[in-house]
Structure 1
């Protein structure tokens, strides 16, 4: 939604400008220097594995066929429509689809290897230590809304497409920590109360496999920077 990227970008740039961390924080847009991985392919591969895994897990505990059948005949439905849809998608995933998903994963792994800086092997290598993404694609929404059906005019083709921004981390099995970016205003809700316009958003900071400790250390530095910035503002 409008305002999310700018809020996250500003949070990172302000952190870099403050230069209060032990680490030297340099912010750069990835697409300015690297060819981005095909997001549609990521979504395709992620969903194939996710659907198949969900079906397999539930099938070990429940009679999925019976549950799906009762969804059509029983007025007291035994599960949410979204879960039934997950099962149906899982039933459509065949060996060919799984192989394609594995191929996408392998290519994504290669892309990640090229993106992340590996100072242990080559100190002069140009790459990135950490990547960042917004924690969500939408601002917090009313609890009565089941899920966002469109984002800034773009219709969501599935009930979980609004959290697609989590796929690069989840599909890659990468370590990740989420930190607060701050508050922003959604222009699409300008007619609502001020309390609903000043909404929080976070930032996913993620790195290569095995960098869990480095990410936690970086998050701690960010936390200390935010605390100091808040104290300065309050004075």
Structure 2
């Protein structure tokens, strides 16, 4: 069994003390950094305060539904790989778990070797997911937290401004037309005027650009806008 190249944090949500300790010890012996939560409430608090690439959740928790914990954790941990630990008879719950955002499940009783294999596969899958963090020069956005920063300082954006910035950053160095922006913001059948986009762009520029450095958002006459840093070439999106 391969060890992770660097210590990976794993949140284990298990209210059976003996099983919880056994899982945590087994994973720790293979290089994982395990945190054990003995209740749904503790698990939710830990997931809110820290980042865990791998989360194991027992569906049969005493103080709350494992599905409830799963949904709560998934909302704040979009990129985590979540594995469910389920009794054999929990067939319907396993299906609901996958539909609620779980990535895989392990049926009890299981061996440590099987659990390790599932964890390793989930870790590989999670690393291949698109990042929720985008950077262009001094500007960065966190798509999960809906947060934008420039040079480490948070920028207060309206939901519309954030979505415009998201589309421009996803297409950095490419031209994004006014029509594309309207359809992204509202709907594919948008038939309204596009002048409203200019108002939002001007407000966005005022918030993200620094007068002492080069502009980030560039107007492409007759087409739309392009977000680029320094001397990057412009491509057509």
Q: Which has the higher helix share?
A: 1
Larger radius of gyration: 2
Q: Same fold (TM over 0.5)?
A: no
Q: Which has the higher strand share?
A: 2
The TM-score with structure 2 as length reference comes to 0.21
The TM-score with structure 1 as length reference comes to 0.21
